[in-house]
Structure 1
Amino acid sequence: MKLEFTLNGRAASWDGAPVTRLAAALRDDLGVTGTKTGCDAGDCGACTVLLDGRQVCSCLVAMGQIEGRSVETVEGLETGPDAMAALQQSFLDHGAAQCGICTPGMLMAAQELVRRNSKPSRAEVEDALGGVLCRCTGYGKIVDAVMDVVSPAPASAPVAGGAVGSRIVRVDGPAKVTGRDVFGADGIPTDVLWIRVVRSPHARAHFELGDLEPLRRRLTAVLTAADVPFNGYGIYPDIKDQPVLADGHVRYRGEAVVALVGERAAVLAIRDDEVPIAWRPEPPIFGVDAAMAEDAPLVQADRPGNLLLKGGVKRGDVAVAFEACAAVAEGTFETAFVEHAYIEPEAGWARRVGDRIEIHATTQTPYMDRDEIANLMRLKPEAVRIVPTACGGGFGGKLDLSVQPLIAIAAWTLGRPVALVYTRPESMAASTKRHPARVKARFGCDTEGKLQSCDVTALFDTGAYASWGPTVANRVPVHAMGPYAIPNVRTWGEAYFSNGPPAGAFRGFGVPQAAIAHEAMMDELADRLGIDRLEFRHRNALRAGDTTATGQTLAHSAGLAECLDALRPHWRKAHEEIAAFNETGGPHRRGIGIGCMWYGIGNTSMSNPSRMRVGLSPAGTLTLYSGALDIGQGSNTIMVQIAADAVGLPAEQFTLVTGDTDLTADAGKTSASRQTFVSGKAAEKAGQDLRQQILRLANAGPQAILSLEGATLSVRDGADVRTIDLATAGPLMGEGTFDPPTTPLDADGQGVPYATYAFAAQLAEVEVDIELGTVKVLRIVAAHDVGRAINPTLVEGQIQGGVAQGLGLALMEEYLPGRTENLHDYLIPTVGDVPEIECLLIEDREPLGPSGAKGIGEPALVPTAPAILGAVHHATGVRAHRVPLLPHRLREAMVAQQRSKA
């Protein structure tokens, strides 16, 4: 069917099947890739465009409906070459784009609103954006950006004193707000072969493959386990337990079994039931109780008792201390599998280049990918090149391999570029999750409310394969007592295999689950002693000079008490307002809660290095070579700001080369909130190294002022000005490496697991419908000790996004294996769910960090769920022991509570 329509104000034509999705036609046929896709079901809204001026999900519109109509995409917003629309500029100025995958859809939804309503209210803006999901931002800065276009706020004065501390816009922001950022499914060559993966419908089964030759005649190739040179991968060098393709045995529903390779139409034409697989299903093991049972079959043959790892921290005499306590609180808390729900499904493509394989894919860890692919393919690491695409959200989920092994093996074998893009159901079935946990906690204090003893045991369901399970089991015991000074501690963690999906890294590595338990215990102890909940925490907060449960002395930068001080006026005012509201009666009750956390930055008791380079070319190009991947958190901008001040030249003069393993040094993985602290310090050292080289060339002192114009570098040292002709003196290259000082933990968990810790406290106000069991979060005030806010706008964005994910963890997010398949089955917070979030930045500087900075990505999420759940308890008297606290669970608990009082 040939049809004519208008695309971004210009005549366009298209010829194809009328049932083709508009999103597919725009991206695949017309090359308009600014329109992103995240679900193909109308759930996420990333593909939002304007059709005759009204927003629609282009994945739900058939091309047969387009004849004679007007289609507008993000590309049509620009008013000219390099001239962004006011809305795009406002998004850039406000930091409204983080990973950027939802940004085009948000912009188009906002564009419709501002055209028809020149002065919308904030509620009207939220309503207009309600069809587009964002997993990164928490929505606040997006709404602010739209409001600022329709009701401009006075421009804030620039911060003096250099790049660090300034609210400069993201260096990669223009690409995000114009739709030019290249994600995993963008930029795929036209001559690629495509892969479709056949996955197991069973959680546990043996299988046999039948005759595959008929399929091979219809396709270019059919890959099985026999085609993988070394069929096992994993995070740890000694645990390579996950096959690329299962070999006769599957351990979870969604495990890859066969890869079909061919032209796109050919692979899509083959139904799963046409692939000859004889299944022998077996009873699956779900949950830690089943995994720990004496008669439980082994998920992994070499793991007796299905135990992956165990370990803990011991200090003092817990039993004796409990006997002397004036008050003791204890409880058991359970959490579920949680889906990362990044808006960009896993995607990428690969090609063979001579004797090397080149992989373009979405990832959080290019060097780990390189080494793992080399091992799988039995190649040398230098034979593998990883070129990371823009990452449309990660949160830990893209630390594990996904599409990379299959596209690499197929491209290497066939000599053709090969692509693989997961569907949303495939992403949900195949990707890692947050570990379900059962945390049993017991805390005791004296009559003055000083904590004396703590005993916590956390059991984790790590699913079918190890993934990041050892990291979770190791990190949680260090944090499970909370950010408090407790002389007697026993914390213990165990991770067990099951036939659930692999549980991996997810923003916090198990610490959010532990925080739900320890913060509930703080509330109970405070209530029993009649001490204000904030004051109880303040009384017990770790401070500089205190010794932690691992025996580490916190020499500096332990700002929890300062965070609580910042919250105190908000806490008092909210108490007064809530008391007045609740006196009116009715079906709604309000409550206030508080949650505290600490979080060790970087790897636990492991080497954690990063290497960065800053170069000046003979032409005068100033370049930061950064292997630190920006997955939305803003590290590209942070690294430039740090390097700029270290060199002494303006940030706007820097160009950035990032991620490519051929062009950048290994800066480590983007996880554990480490990039600002670790890679930022390496960038600072690299900038300082380059500056020292320049000063030596100019024979200038340390206070000299640099300026760069073209290939001429001027050095002003007092009254003297010296110039360096880079055409003859260049190139210059500064290098910096940083590895935070830690020590191994002994058998009792004693040692220095992290060089520094982030601290935070958050306040939550909620309103509960006591008849329905629904919870509305009204307000969050988040006080975070970040060491130094390199870019306050980006820090606030991380806090707001983390709060939104913490809200989801507390109230709505639960992945059910075999049942959760899309974003209408799995609910994440929308713009209407996320409340006002006020950020209070506490800067208790860390001497080891760049300009005193620490980290914020994971700490932002950890205290939110405990604060919300504490607020629900304050409103209803119900303590949540199973999370998420869905309405029916809260309602049942309130009914049970009423019956117990009768």
Structure 2
Amino acid sequence: MKQLKKMTLNINGADRMFICDPEKDTLASVLRRLGLTGTKVGCGTGVCGACSTILDGKVIRSCTKKIKTVKEYSSVITIEGLGNPMNPHPIQAAMVHLGAVQCGFCMPGFIVSAYGLLTSNPSPTREDVRDWFQQHRNVCRCTGYKQIVDAVMEAAAIMRGEKTIADIAYDYKKDVGNYYGKPLARPNALAKACGVCDYGDDIELKMPAETLHAVLVMPRVANHARILNIDYSEAEKMPGVVKVITSKDVDGANHLMMFQFSPRTTAMEQVHKLLADEKIINWGTVVAMVVADTKDHAKEAADKVKVEIEQLPEYMNYLDAVMPDAMRIHDSMDNTFTWQPLFKGDTDRIPDMIEEAPHVVEGSFYSSREPHMSIEGDTVQAYYDEDGLLTVQCKAMTTYFDRDDIAQAVGLPVEQIRVVENPTGGSFGWAMNATSYSLAAIACKVTQQPIALSMDYSQFMALSGKRSPAYMNARLACDADGKIIAGEFDAGMDHGYDPALGDDKVIKIARFMFFPYNVPHVLGLGRVAVTNHAFGVPYRGYGAPQAYTCGEALIDMMAEEIGMDPFEFRYKNIAREGETNINSSEFLQYPMEEMMDKMKPLYDKAVAEAKAADTPEVRRGVGLAWGGYNVGLGSDDFANAAIELTSDGKFIKYDTWQDQGQGGDQGSLMCTLEALKPYFPDVLPTDIKLIQADTKYCPNTGESAGSRSHFANGKASILAAQNLANAMRKEDGTYRTYDEMIQEGIPTKYEGNWVAEAEWDNFRLLDPNTGVGSPTYAYTYALFMSEVEVEVATGKTTVIGMTCVDWVGRVGNIQAVNGQAYGGISHAIGFALKENYEDVKKHNNIYSAGVPYIKDIPDKIDVLHMDGFDERGPFGSSGASEAFQSSDHVAVINAINNACGVRIYELPASPDKVKAGLDIIAAGGKVQPPKKYFLGSDFYEELEKIKANPV
């Protein structure tokens, strides 16, 4: 017999009575059931702080606070008790106006936590704020924390009466017609800061009563096994169970689409089944879904599904999967399935050039399996809408592509599928994959009932993809004057169990190795293999960080080899106007020398400070790394957007700029204002309503990836505004009103359809036989400097400062670009030092997988934007985001070496690795690179085979 308890708590100043299960309920679950969904649950294990509330005057993490341990009539304060959009608390207002709100999922927890700090310490220092958030485990994955601390400091000043909210708010009325580049607040920021923005789990709680709940059955008994039997008979008998869905219930393909990006691949078909019936191919393999009347019932039944297996060999990394005696993971293809060669210059002589060069460095490098670790995991809703469309609400970052994937999986025409992006608590790339979206759609189609599919964080970590690891062997040769002569690289990328996108991603290694230097002669090879680990998905940088892990280490090693300052060596070898990248093409822009000139005095200052502060106990060092990324998807890129004139003389903008936290709404607003300005210069931000990321209403603006969104959306916005203005324009040059348009039968809504290839005809896809090509319409550039301290006794590295000089063309919104910079830098520091998803059993939450807390990220992050103007871009802008997480991790690695002489070749640079290197040096030795990796065949023989067999 279930025993419940009636209880009363004073919540936000009012006594609230409720009924709870004292053994199961947490304070968070009770608050959310009461409708106070501003209290978010991310990790569910008390390590992210999203659920922070104040209980009897103390900040606590409510997701692990059992309700049975809360005293009757205790006082509870949640985000809803601090302020609302009509009357925000100064902390909420400061977070909005200082640009601290990105995806916003963590924001209520930060604001409540900050309230607890400021009520006890009204005049904190910045370090007090950082110590507080560290103590209370408040994690932000988007911002890099800097803007959050800025906001708390401003809020403290307001609460002390020294400032007002108006003092820190951008007054958009003073810049009418001149908004571009200004810190215009995100349209959705206030709702997020006040806790009234509904994310996926909040939407699930508020769905109709007849909604069914789907829970995934992941056996997690092996990484590779043959399925002998799936027994769900006991699960079917459990209370509330409506259906146990397996592969036999799926009418569609039971897999996603498969695109071939390179002719030099053997991955011709999708081999990953959404509901597996033959093989377990990784820790997150799904064999069934249990659909029940409640989530608890579905979970309890899912635990009753029994899977009988036959264990198979497990290949948990590239090196194991490509061994000659390794069995095929997928019957239809060898484990190594894609190759991308690179030939530049006098390739026949490159081996001799390197052997004969005055200076040569070589090494083997490992770029690790970085987990995205968004604070919000994965949650999906599926239902039939009022038009009979099977509708999926999810974290989609490419709504139309996901629509096509879902249609393939469930067996319906795309016209019968609708995809809507929910307010999204970050993804950084993993949300590009439609696995969970398709599973929810399958459950909806099978049951003909609305479905809410969600998972705990450990399931999310097992199911979602990760950054693809890469093993690389490479050499670099230099002449006596310090000029690069030639380079070689051989890279093996681990794409996990699903080959999809592998043949596209490996191209980035062939594009960003030795970027942006002038290397006259290069031999390179990228190969990709499937393994039994988490599959490779997009992650900010999409293949480029792997290349920089190798390339920028070699650059530093060469500077050390010839006795040249690493700054001077880079300055000597960056490409100048007319010199080409390793794909034998021009860089399109050449801001590199000017960027280095801007960094030079900062570098000299940092080096001097490091020398002055260096001690035998704590070593100080400075490291550099060049980075950057392409903008867009090349010749195939396109974007559509629409602008509509409304009856009150205002405008509606329609697009699919999917907001993953980067500011899709903010960016779309900026682009729309600037596109309309030539015709309607007095338009205010409040005159524009955004309808976004819903395939039912919005034209396809493309994916929120490839640093393309601002560029492509801006181009489409210009055309849409132009088409609308042309329709509104009278013969005398004035513009028709809405009523006049209707009266004359003229449409009031116009699309802008931009196609990259129609604007430029000089695209060259990367040649699959040579690596020659120019497949982009713009680049972004970033030069990073890291300052670190290394504790000799422990090997622990602390980044005490990061500086970035970037070129992103003309900045569209300063707060948005800064946010991308700070956030990207914070991910890169984590990538360098601690983030890892290697142990599938251990690395199942953000804490164990190494998420950086605030004290892991320096408060000193300086970002300097060059005054750039991209002639090709909309309004002079290029792109942003991915450059900021391209090579900065290598700046940290190079700084460690500069500090203490320990070169870390295999990420992450954990304390034990650094300490082992220090011990070697203390014993009179030198840290050596790993033994040259065997990547499946001899490098030169493989290149000769490719030359002999062009495609």
Taking structure 2 as the reference length, the TM-score comes to 0.89
- The alpha-carbon deviation at position 356 of structure 1 amounts to 2.4
The correspondence of residues 730-741 of structure 1 with structure 2, limited to 5 A, is 731-741=747-757
Whole-Å Cα distance in 1 between the matches of residues 581 and 259 of structure 2? 28
Q: Say whether the 8 Å CA contact 2:96–2:185 is kept in structure 1.
A: yes
- The alpha-carbon deviation at position 618 of structure 1 amounts to 3.0
Whole-Å Cα distance in 1 between the matches of residues 492 and 71 of structure 2? 54
Question: Which residue identity lines up with residue 572 of structure 1 in the other structure?
Answer: D
- The alpha-carbon deviation at position 332 of structure 1 amounts to 0.8
User: Partner of 1:809 in structure 2?
Assistant: 831
**Once the two structures are superposed, what CA deviation does each residue of 1:295-328 show, in whole Å capped at 9, x if it has no partner?**
1110111112x01211122111233542553322
Which stretch of structure 1 is more off in the superposition, 771-780 or 459-468? 459-468
Identity of aligned residues (%): 29
Whole-Å Cα distance in 1 between the matches of residues 301 and 235 of structure 2? 11
Question: Which residue identity lines up with residue 439 of structure 1 in the other structure?
Answer: M
Question: Which residue identity lines up with residue 326 of structure 2 in the other structure?
Answer: A
- Gap regions ≥5 residues in structure 1: 714-722
- Gap regions ≥5 residues in structure 2: 261-267, 678-682, 758-762, 927-951
Whole-Å Cα distance in 2 between the matches of residues 266 and 128 of structure 1? 35
Pick closer, same or farther for the CA change 1:323–1:212 going to 2, 3 Å: closer
- The alpha-carbon deviation at position 684 of structure 1 amounts to 2.6
- The alpha-carbon deviation at position 271 of structure 1 amounts to 5.8
- The alpha-carbon deviation at position 272 of structure 1 amounts to 5.3
> Which of 133, 137, 141 is equivalent to 1:135?
141
Pick closer, same or farther for the CA change 1:656–1:727 going to 2, 3 Å: farther
Whole-Å Cα distance in 2 between the matches of residues 308 and 676 of structure 1? 34
User: Partner of 2:265 in structure 1?
Assistant: none
Pick closer, same or farther for the CA change 1:490–1:697 going to 2, 3 Å: farther
- The alpha-carbon deviation at position 546 of structure 1 amounts to 2.7
What secondary structure is seen at the aligned counterpart in 1 of 2:432? coil
User: Partner of 1:16 in structure 2?
Assistant: 20
User: Partner of 2:620 in structure 1?
Assistant: 590
Question: Which residue identity lines up with residue 171 of structure 1 in the other structure?
Answer: P
Residue 236 of structure 2 is aligned to residue 216 of structure 1: yes
User: Partner of 1:848 in structure 2?
Assistant: 872
> Which of 3, 8, 27 is equivalent to 1:4?
8
Question: Which residue identity lines up with residue 229 of structure 2 in the other structure?
Answer: L
Whole-Å Cα distance in 1 between the matches of residues 116 and 523 of structure 2? 57
Question: Which residue identity lines up with residue 228 of structure 2 in the other structure?
Answer: E
- The alpha-carbon deviation at position 182 of structure 1 amounts to 2.1
- The alpha-carbon deviation at position 659 of structure 1 amounts to 0.1
User: Partner of 2:650 in structure 1?
Assistant: 621
Residue 115 of structure 2 is aligned to residue 111 of structure 1: yes
- The alpha-carbon deviation at position 193 of structure 1 amounts to 0.9
Residue 896 of structure 2 is aligned to residue 872 of structure 1: yes
Pick closer, same or farther for the CA change 1:569–1:204 going to 2, 3 Å: same
> Which of 88, 111, 120 is equivalent to 1:84?
88
User: Partner of 1:256 in structure 2?
Assistant: 286
Whole-Å Cα distance in 2 between the matches of residues 403 and 355 of structure 1? 21
Residue 288 of structure 2 is aligned to residue 288 of structure 1: no
What secondary structure is seen at the aligned counterpart in 2 of 1:31? coil
Whole-Å Cα distance in 2 between the matches of residues 220 and 671 of structure 1? 38
Whole-Å Cα distance in 1 between the matches of residues 924 and 802 of structure 2? 32
Q: Say whether the 8 Å CA contact 2:496–2:533 is kept in structure 1.
A: yes
What secondary structure is seen at the aligned counterpart in 2 of 1:664? coil
- The alpha-carbon deviation at position 642 of structure 1 amounts to 1.5
Pick closer, same or farther for the CA change 1:373–1:97 going to 2, 3 Å: same
What secondary structure is seen at the aligned counterpart in 2 of 1:185? helix
> Which of 314, 329, 332 is equivalent to 1:302?
332
User: Partner of 2:638 in structure 1?
Assistant: 609
> Which of 644, 651, 668 is equivalent to 2:673?
644
**Once the two structures are superposed, what CA deviation does each residue of 1:207-251 show, in whole Å capped at 9, x if it has no partner?**
233553443243100011111221222452654221111112111
Pick closer, same or farther for the CA change 1:697–1:8 going to 2, 3 Å: farther
Pick closer, same or farther for the CA change 1:171–1:239 going to 2, 3 Å: farther
- The alpha-carbon deviation at position 6 of structure 1 amounts to 1.6
Q: Say whether the 8 Å CA contact 2:498–2:535 is kept in structure 1.
A: yes
CA RMSD of aligned residues (A): 2.1
User: Partner of 1:762 in structure 2?
Assistant: 784
What secondary structure is seen at the aligned counterpart in 2 of 1:274? coil
User: Partner of 1:340 in structure 2?
Assistant: 372
Whole-Å Cα distance in 2 between the matches of residues 728 and 738 of structure 1? 28
> Which of 759, 762, 765 is equivalent to 1:744?
765
**Once the two structures are superposed, what CA deviation does each residue of 1:142-163 show, in whole Å capped at 9, x if it has no partner?**
0000001113676588685612
User: Partner of 1:685 in structure 2?
Assistant: 719
Which stretch of structure 1 is more off in the superposition, 642-651 or 884-893? 642-651
User: Partner of 2:97 in structure 1?
Assistant: 93
Whole-Å Cα distance in 1 between the matches of residues 303 and 606 of structure 2? 59
> Which of 680, 692, 695 is equivalent to 1:658?
692
User: Partner of 2:706 in structure 1?
Assistant: 672
The correspondence of residues 395-794 of structure 1 with structure 2, limited to 5 A, is 395-555=428-588, 557-582=589-614, 585-603=615-633, 605=634, 607-648=636-677, 649-694=683-728, 696-697=729-730, 699-700=732-733, 731-741=747-757, 742-746=763-767, 747-794=769-816
Whole-Å Cα distance in 1 between the matches of residues 297 and 170 of structure 2? 57
Question: Which residue identity lines up with residue 50 of structure 1 in the other structure?
Answer: I
User: Partner of 1:717 in structure 2?
Assistant: none
> Which of 47, 52, 60 is equivalent to 1:43?
47
- The alpha-carbon deviation at position 529 of structure 1 amounts to 2.5
Question: Which residue identity lines up with residue 811 of structure 1 in the other structure?
Answer: L
Which stretch of structure 1 is more off in the superposition, 423-432 or 502-511? 502-511
Q: Say whether the 8 Å CA contact 2:616–2:792 is kept in structure 1.
A: no
Whole-Å Cα distance in 2 between the matches of residues 806 and 434 of structure 1? 12
**Once the two structures are superposed, what CA deviation does each residue of 1:714-767 show, in whole Å capped at 9, x if it has no partner?**
xxxxxxxxx967776765223222333432222201121211111110111001
What secondary structure is seen at the aligned counterpart in 2 of 1:186? helix
Question: Which residue identity lines up with residue 574 of structure 1 in the other structure?
Answer: A
Q: How many residues align?
A: 877
Taking structure 1 as the reference length, the TM-score comes to 0.94
Whole-Å Cα distance in 1 between the matches of residues 582 and 889 of structure 2? 24
Whole-Å Cα distance in 2 between the matches of residues 491 and 699 of structure 1? 62
User: Partner of 1:859 in structure 2?
Assistant: 883
The correspondence of residues 141-220 of structure 1 with structure 2, limited to 5 A, is 141-151=147-157, 155=168, 160=175, 162-188=178-204, 189-191=207-209, 192-200=211-219, 201-218=221-238, 219-220=241-242
- The alpha-carbon deviation at position 355 of structure 1 amounts to 4.3
Pick closer, same or farther for the CA change 1:109–1:877 going to 2, 3 Å: same
Question: Which residue identity lines up with residue 768 of structure 1 in the other structure?
Answer: V
**Once the two structures are superposed, what CA deviation does each residue of 1:187-212 show, in whole Å capped at 9, x if it has no partner?**
12142111111113210111233553
Pick closer, same or farther for the CA change 1:268–1:578 going to 2, 3 Å: same
- The alpha-carbon deviation at position 270 of structure 1 amounts to 2.8
User: Partner of 1:52 in structure 2?
Assistant: 56
User: Partner of 2:938 in structure 1?
Assistant: none
Whole-Å Cα distance in 2 between the matches of residues 7 and 409 of structure 1? 40
Which stretch of structure 1 is more off in the superposition, 227-236 or 14-23? 227-236
Whole-Å Cα distance in 1 between the matches of residues 103 and 577 of structure 2? 35
Question: Which residue identity lines up with residue 576 of structure 1 in the other structure?
Answer: A
Whole-Å Cα distance in 1 between the matches of residues 437 and 465 of structure 2? 15
Whole-Å Cα distance in 1 between the matches of residues 742 and 307 of structure 2? 65
What secondary structure is seen at the aligned counterpart in 2 of 1:46? coil
Question: Which residue identity lines up with residue 652 of structure 1 in the other structure?
Answer: T
